[in-house]
Amino acid sequence: MKKLLLVILIIVGGLYFLGSLSEGENVINDEDTYNSSWYEPSLSETGKIGMILAANGIRNCGEFQIKETHPDEYVLACTADGSNWTYYVVYIGNEKVYRANEKMEKKLTPPR
């Protein structure tokens, strides 16, 4: 009975921890990120970011602009048509890309 109670407590604790990592909490709070200008990536940045986008199944990103938030971490504005932008956060080191949440999107302005 004690083992069952321990297992239940571990599961509940794990679920609580996972809930605390919800997407709404993953917001870049550095205002410089939102105030800095978008720029066209260098050839090297384009290659690295393009490979990460492809490896993570991100399609329809024919054009993108970036803002470097930290070394090897970027906010990316992506468009297929030149007017509708989708925002991502790209981590070069672990080759991951995540869609920016609504809170971040509201703070970002389109590149043009």
pLDDT at residue number 7: 54
Is the CATH number of domain 28-107 3.10.450? yes
Q: Per-domain residue ranges for the chain?
A: 28-107
Instruction: Give the tens place of pLDDT for each residue, 76-97.
Output: 999 999 999 999 999 999 999 9
pLDDT at residue number 12: 53
pLDDT at residue number 53: 96
**pLDDT under 70: residue ranges of the chain:** 2-26
Query: Order of strands across the sheet with 96-99?
Result: 63-70, 73-79, 85-91, 96-99
Q: Are 41 and 66 in contact (CB under 8 A)?
A: yes
Query: What's the DSSP call for residue 10?
Result: H
* pTM of the predicted model as reported, rounded to 2 decimal places: 0.74
